[in-house]
Chains A and B, each alone.
Chain A
Amino acid sequence: MANTGTAQTGARTFFKGISRSRESGLFLIIIAAFLLLALLKGNIFLSLKNFEGITTGITYDLLMAAGMTVVLILWGIDLSVGAVLALTSVITAMLLRAGVSIPLSVALGLLCSLGAGALNGFCVSRLKIAPFIVTLAVMSVARGIALVLSSGYFLSGLPEGYTHISEGTFIGLPMPYFVVLFVLVVLHLLLKNWKFLNQAFYVGTNPQSAVLSGINANLVTFVGYLISSLMAGIAAIFMSSKLAMGFSQFGQLAELRAIAAAVIGGASFTGGSGSILGATLGVILIAIISNGFVLLNGSPNWQQAVSGIILLVAVGVDAIRRRREGRE
């Protein structure tokens, strides 16, 4: 392709690049939704309390959507994240109530989520069982264990120091935001520039070619599922710290929101593509739309239906987009 490079062409290609890029498109939609809601329900929408509600909610979803993106890139899926979140919160809460020190409880809780990730990773990479079956099964197992251990009750009465985890501030903003931002940035950079994690794109595009090219597909896949479950574990720590309890019903449908966000952000169910930035924008978009719907309607019972519809739309739009790209 000839390189013409006059200033005008440069500007045109810049704008074409922006409009073509998925992330920019999402950004524009988010701005649009934001403005729309500000217009319609400005007084409630733009209140500090509403914002806090939205942003607290998305910290958990951001983590899990990022983890889900990694798994989707690997041509897999992780339906167990919500259940792993619940289980981690229950186990951590139980340890705290039994008097175990906070650092140790957190460590053991995270270890437990890593264990779930290891189980997922092992069954998918070594036993070669289909990811959705494995994670579906692990989801029910994890949820079940959480139920059994907690007998369905809230596990509260956690030491004060623990709730500080989510309350502690850093330059006036709560800790969780920084941790999440840090995690997202690191994950994004690693995925793009670190050989080991970048190999996930190869593995997800064509696992056999990857193996025959000398890539350790099994290990990369295993680590991918570890990351996904670890994200759920970290989210669990923040959630149980903020709400001061462990509960077996945490994270219901979290996996579906994570999938929706990741797919909106550019991940495909057939592997080989995905972006942390895109998933982040996806989470924000879903959060704003859900919030908007609730504000406009007033009934929280519609939250789930809205999430479902958003997922449907995301999936449909993604499918159409892929078809059109395929034709070119």
Chain B
Amino acid sequence: MGDMLLQLDGISKSFVSNKVLDAVSAEFEKGKCYAVVGENGAGKSTLMKIIGGIYRPDAGKVFFEGKEIHFFSASDAIAAGISIVYQELSLAGNLSVAQNIFCHREFVNGLGFINWNRLYLEAEKIFEQMGLKIDTRKKVGKLSVGMQQTIEIGKALSLKSKLIIMDEPTSALSEKEVDHLYEIITLLKHRGVTVIFISHKLTEVFRIAERIIVLRDGVLVGSEETARITREEVIRLMVGRHITDLFPEKGASRGEVVFEAKNMSRKGVFSGISFALMEREILGFAGLVGAGRSEVARAIFGADKMNVGELVLRGKRMRIRNPRDAIRQGICYLTEDRKSLGLFLTMKVKSNIVAAALGRFVTRMGFYRQRKIKQQSMSFVRAMEIRPFDDEINVMSLSGGNQQKTLLAKWLCAEPKLLIADEPTRGVDVGAKAKIHKDLRVLAESGVGVIVISSELPEILGLCDRVAIFREGTISAILENRNLGQEEVMRHATK
């Protein structure tokens, strides 16, 4: 039994009239790793930000190292020994590793001039503590995302943090970088540092955390050792009900060929990509981050070029030079990043839904048929359960799950013959996930070709009939999803 590092006692927080946290109490020991899980809007981020000094609680107390603390800013928390590593990294790309580590705390002489040698040396020492050897003179912007994250952790260490909070630390990492992160977290634990991380990925939670804390609608509904709880129980706590049908029934029969890709190649990115997609089946693209799945999708969609390759949709050879061509011929691509690449956040739900199909709602001279637009958009809102059921509000005010549904609605409105959905349920709560999976299956059953790209193996295996496994720019295997296990998929994805 280690001593208590952090104690939360009855923490409550509201934003305007919206109660985000309701009397949350929890304890965190030194040198242990905790995971905080919950649906979107459950209050995880807010809780972490209160611990990190960015927000102040409306009620309740926070005890750090036995003493009650009141943080007025992130700097206060950092000074006390609490650091947060955000999803959007907080580094200055044009400056060196050492400068980033010691930002605002550089070693200076009496007049304030930086002692460069000492700066680089001390930075190297920090990384030695983590068992790494890094050239601290290198500019941070030139390093990989995984490396940048390691540097942020190094920065937290150099600030003598006793508690490091990480927000979705693995969402942008490759498999190898994730393993690397685990090693570092293990090292941190050995040095007595407590780690709390927020994650949507239950596989990782179970792998690395010793204790799981579940929040639902601002209330702490569960706190248990990971060894003593199952995945299903965690999901039930998160959602409040049994989700046995996260994935709909797979397709029974299969029809003729809907889409064929022949020998797609793009120098340095992917090569020899060939596959066929049948009617009524969902094909999955699995593989590590960076294996080329999204790049292939973008090439099919015309958003990126390819050097060679032939695309055949329902027997007709496609000539696609840009997304406009693709959409006109029936190929749609639901992008990975809905906020910056898919939606128009400051525009209405209605405007977003018709955005890719504007040509369907105009007269011959090109003027809008407003009534038809309203009809279609409301019908999609109802069918896809986009809450609140109002298409005149800004998409920005919707939750992540509803935003994703709006994005899917946009592509369905474009009446695709082939839909490639890239990470269709990323950052989406479990309830919305189930709905999106169901909609994709219904789409496939109606004769539209559906390809799903996902980094969550359970999603691939639960949703897809066949899986194309990518490895370093090629397809290493296309397997039927009959008793297909995660290990087998990973085997083809790595080797």
Contacts and interface: CB of A to CB of B under 8 A. Distances in A.
Nearest to B365: A194
Interface string B315-334: 00000001110111000010
A199 B361 CA distance: 13
Contacts of B323: 211-214
A209 B367 contact: no
B362 A195 contact: yes
Given A1-B390, A193-B368, A195-B367, A214 B345 contact: no
Contacts of B368: 193-195, 198
A225 interface: no
Contact of B358 (A199, A206, A209): A199
Contacts of A199: 358
The 10 closest A-B pairs by CB, nearest first: A214-B327, A213-B356, A214-B324, A205-B344, A213-B355, A195-B362, A195-B366, A193-B367, A206-B344, A214-B323
22 contacts: A194-B366, A195-B358, A196-B366, A202-B344, A202-B347, A202-B355, A205-B347, A209-B340, A209-B342, A209-B344, A210-B355, A211-B322, A212-B323, A212-B341, A212-B342, A213-B356, A214-B327, A214-B328, A214-B356, A214-B414, A215-B324, A273-B346
A216 interface: yes
A5 B323 CA distance: 44
Interface string B334-352: 0100001111111100010
Given A195-B366, A202-B347, 8 more contacts: A1-B390, A193-B368, A205-B346, A206-B340, A206-B343, A209-B342, A214-B327, A214-B414
B273 interface: no
A214 B303 CA distance: 10
A201 interface: yes
A205 B410 CA distance: 16
A212 B335 contact: yes
B359 interface: yes
A272 interface: yes
Contact of B345 (A1, A193, A206, A208): A206
Q: Per DSSP, are chain B's interface residues mostly helix, strand or loop, or mixed?
A: mixed
Contacts of A205: 344-347
Contact of B359 (A194, A195, A208, A210): A195
Nearest to A219: B324
B340 A216 contact: no
A216 B302 CA distance: 13
A246 to B, nearest CB: 37
A213 B362 contact: no
Contacts of A215: 324, 355, 358
A206 to B, nearest CB: 5
B344 to A, nearest CB: 4
Interface residues of B, number: 30
Contacts of A211: 303, 322-323
Contacts of A1: 390
Contacts of B410: 213
A208 B328 contact: no
A216 B345 CA distance: 19
A1 B359 CA distance: 30
Which of A193, A201, A208, A214: most chain B CB closer than 10 A? A214
Contact of A212 (B328, B333, B366): B333
Interface string A254-276: 00000000000000000011000
Contacts of B390: 1
Contacts of B358: 195, 199, 215
Given A193-B368, A214-B328, A209 B343 contact: yes
A216 to B, nearest CB: 6
A274 to B, nearest CB: 13
Nearest to A271: B346
Contacts of A209: 340-344, 355
A205 B339 CA distance: 12
Contacts of B367: 193-195
Interface string B410-438: 10001000000000000000000000000
B424 to A, nearest CB: 15
A223 to B, nearest CB: 13
B405 to A, nearest CB: 16
Interface in A187-207: 193-196, 198-199, 201-202, 205-206
Interface in B194-219: none
A47 B8 CA distance: 74
Contacts of A206: 340, 343-345
Contacts of A212: 301, 303, 323, 333, 335, 341-342
Nearest to B414: A214
A16 to B, nearest CB: 16
Contacts of A214: 323-324, 326-328, 356, 414
Nearest to A189: B367
Nearest to A211: B323
A224 to B, nearest CB: 16
B404 to A, nearest CB: 14
A194 B390 CA distance: 24
Nearest to B390: A1
Contact of B346 (A194, A210, A272): A272
A194 B367 CA distance: 4
